Each structure stands twice: as C-alpha cells, then as structure tokens.
Amino acid sequence: RHTLELAELVGTRRQLLPVRGATPFVSQPGRIHPFRVGRGPAPLHLLPALLGLDHLDWSTRLGMARAGLAAKLGARLWPERLDRLSASAWLRWHGQGRQSRRGLWEPLGLATLNIPLEQASARMFATVLDRSMFAGRRDITALLPEQLLDDVFVRPALEKVRRQGGEILCSQRVVRLQHNGRRLLAVETADGRRHQAEAFVLAAPWYETARLAGQVAALDSLGRQCARLGYSGIVTVDIWYDRCWLEWSFAGLLHSPLQWVFSHPRQRGLPARVSCVISGAERLLAWPSQRLVAECRAELVRHFPAAAAARVVDSLVTRVPLATIRVTPGSYGNRPGPATALENLYLAGDWTATGLPATMEGAVASGVQAARMLDSRPAGRIAHVA
C-alpha cells in the first residue's frame, strides 16, 4: 500500500500494471496451478485460488484457509508472542502438514521473507499472509512495472525533490558523523565535504548504519542491534535463449530451489531473456556461475518442457550476499524505530521496525515513519533535512 502511495505521489502509479488473469504456479512438468483471485469480499476472494491448488487435497486446502485466518488474528493481536516462534512451528501448531507446507507455504515464505520457514519468525510470516494473501483483492494482485523500477520510483522521486528545492548528491558516501553527543551537527562524505542540516535521516542499510553508529558513543546500542540482524542472500540467474518459451510474464515454481521465473518483453531480433530468482540462497552463493546456470536450466526444463528445445545464447549470475536482514524468531526486538539517541537523527530502511519483512513495502513504510517523526518534532518545523 505504501509503495502504491509512493507511486501515486511521484506520478507513476499508472506504470504499475496489475497482472491480468491467474498467476501460474508450476509443481512439475505440465502441472500448472493457476492462482486466481476472485471478485468477492475477503476472504471469499481466495476461493478460486484454492480451487487452482489442485495438487493438494481438499482437506489440506481447507486447513490452509483456516491457517490464513489464524495468521490474520495472530499478526494483529499477538505479534510479540508470534515473534518468539518459528514460522514452521507455528504452521505445525495450526495443523499444516507436509503437503501444505511444501505445496505453498514454504515457497511463499522463502520468496517473501528470504529465509526458510524453519528459521523465520512466525510474526513476519503471519504478517505476510495478513497483509497480502488474506487481505483484499487489491493487496494480493501482482503488479508489474512498465519500465525498470528505477524509472518508476527513483528518477521521478529525485525529480520531485529537486522541483521542491532539494539538492541530490549521487555517489557521495557518508563516511563520518560529526556530533556533540546529543545532536548530529554534520555528516562528512568521502570527498571530504561537510554537510550540515537541522535534522538528518539515515537511510543506509543496517550493516552501514552499524559502521556509522560505531563512531558515536550515544549510538552504541544501535550499532549492536544492527550487528545482531544478520543477513541473507539472493541469487538471480539471467538466461538468454534463442526463442521465447515461457508463455507468462512470470510464474512461481513449487518443489524447486527457484521461487520465481520472469520472462522479459522480447525486443525484435534479440534473444529472449528469462530471470530466475533464488531467495535465501546462502548455500548457493558460493557455487560457481556455470553450476548455477546449469542448475537453473535443469530446473526450468523440469518444470517447463518447452525450455528443452531452446538454445542458451548467454547468461549472467548476480549474487547479493547481504540482500536482506534475517527475520528470525526474536529478531524484531533488534529492529529500531525511526528515533535514535541523537535528537535530530532518524532512521529509515527496510530493516527498521516497520512491522513488515525486509521488502520494498517495508522500505517505503520506514520512510513514511521517519517523515512523520520529522513532522512531529517538538522543536517545530524544520527548514533543512539531510
């Protein structure tokens, strides 16, 4: 929701196109399970989706609907209690057997939390179910950007800031915080320049925040909190084929190390590009690229027999070892809110305490939280924020 509001604010909402029809989940060659959302009110909008999960028997599917309702209640009423449990223990507690865990919950959990359900906080998993799957039709509808996310969000946002008199400095790393123990006075960038402001929002990742916090005694405990958040990686394998073989813009894979496969719009005369996303990829980060490409090709052929006839013309492996924090049980307490021990320094980032997993939605929500704090400062309106 926050992400859509941001797109609205920067004037690019129309560039996020709802995916029409069903999202296909593929469990084995030729077995497509269309995940279709109905028009009825929540949770009845999920009836067509339950019908589509025909690799699961009916009692499993009804049990999943019950677990979804339990997630809604738990995420809203007992978030702290849920944060002490792992998502897989919580699912077992709610009668979710191997079929439903392997058939939907595990791939969904890995794709949204970026760690396996045995390691993930039940609170974060329940929040995902509450805020997406078991919320309204609008919240579960997948959106695909018409252009690169940079063009949909970043450039228009920068332009808006500039139009309102703000200054954007790119590729300027903050290396030092200058403070008087109570307030932040200025930040120093790698080029040696000093930037002063009345208030500051630090929106760097948690590991960078830990490094900067280490320079300020008052931010000692923030640094320690950040260090406890850990990290989890994502590997993306792009493969270019001599022909298009994937008939959807994206598909979810079940019983596979890959969670999502995307096909990019093909430009005339150029090879067809398919991107494979592997979340929670700790083990695979160390694999050589050749092995990763071979594994993805084999998985694609296993799920989509048409891929076997296509010739690979190129490939690219992207590894992001520190893609997100690890949302493990008990980790929520280490995620700070926007306020810090320095009275004019605020935090933002997907890793802060937004109530959400580390996602784009969480990142935007954290920005909103920081902006609200700035607005409500007892010291009054601020003219200059950095």
Ligand X SMILES: Cc1cc2nc3c(=O)[nH]c(=O)nc-3n(C[C@H](O)[C@H](O)[C@H](O)COP(=O)(O)OP(=O)(O)OC[C@H]3O[C@@H](n4cnc5c(N)ncnc54)[C@H](O)[C@@H]3O)c2cc1C
Interacting residue ranges for ligand X, rule: CB under 6 A: 173-174, 203-205, 208, 234, 236, 320, 323-324, 349-350, 358-361, 363
Q: In the chain, what are the helix, strand and coil shares in percent, each to the nearest 5?
A: 40, 20, 35
Task: Identify the bridge partners of residue 231 per DSSP, sorted by sequence position.
Answer: none
Residue closer to ligand X, measured from CB, 36 or 195: 195
Task: Identify the bridge partners of residue 189 per DSSP, sorted by sequence position.
Answer: 174
Least distance (Å) between residue 197 CB and ligand X: 14
What is the layout of strands, in order, in the sheet containing 260-263?
31-35, 23-28, 250-253, 260-263, 272-279, 232-241, 312-324
Residue closer to ligand X, measured from CB, 141 or 359: 359
Tokens found for residue 52: 């589509």
Residue from 84, 92, 154, 96 nearest 120 by CA = 84
Residue closer to ligand X, measured from CB, 78 or 207: 207
Task: Identify the bridge partners of residue 260 per DSSP, sorted by sequence position.
Answer: 252, 277
Least distance (Å) between residue 361 CB and ligand X: 6
Least distance (Å) between residue 205 CB and ligand X: 5
Least distance (Å) between residue 327 CB and ligand X: 12
Least distance (Å) between residue 278 CB and ligand X: 9
Residue closer to ligand X, measured from CB, 126 or 213: 213
Residue closer to ligand X, measured from CB, 100 or 369: 369
49, burial (CB in 10 Å: exposed 0-12, middle 13-18, buried 19+): buried
SS3 127: helix
23, burial (CB in 10 Å: exposed 0-12, middle 13-18, buried 19+): buried
Least distance (Å) between residue 348 CB and ligand X: 7
Residue closer to ligand X, measured from CB, 37 or 323: 323
Least distance (Å) between residue 204 CB and ligand X: 4
Taking a C-beta distance cutoff of 8 angstroms, is the pair 252, 23 a contact? yes
Residue closer to ligand X, measured from CB, 122 or 363: 363
